[in-house]
Amino acid sequence: MNARAAKHPRRPAAIWRTCLPLSPLDAFCRRYGITTPQLAGAANVTRQHTSRIRAGKVPNLTISTAKLLALGASCIVRRKVAVGELFDLEVDYRPPARAQRKAR
């Protein structure tokens, strides 16, 4: 141990580094070291909304917002990023059935 290490003990790791990723977007951002303000600025989405999406607190995300985030991530990472890399896309999505009319 040198003199500098004795004066400055090592800080514990940040809590977000020790926890599991909250969403696929969070895992992607951690893998590439992307911060929320970076992604929000590149995607032209507000930081608050981006942090909610990253935490998985937005239940119904529009496809246009997902495309913006994928475009922003591709600008930061400098390669094409598919929307499927950032979000769990439901392949078997079926719109709700319409109520049937009563026969007269």
pLDDT of residue 104: 63
Q: What is the pLDDT of residues 35-77, one digit of tens each?
A: 999 999 999 999 999 999 998 898 888 889 999 999 999 999 9
Q: Is the pTM of this model over 0.85?
A: no
Percent of the chain having pLDDT more than 70? 72
Domains parsed from the chain with CATH numbers: 32-85 (1.10.260)
What are the start-end ranges of the H helices in the chain?
3-7, 15-18, 24-32, 36-43, 47-55, 63-77, 83-86
Categorize the per-residue pLDDT at 16 as very low, low, confident or very high, splitting at 50, 70 and 90. low
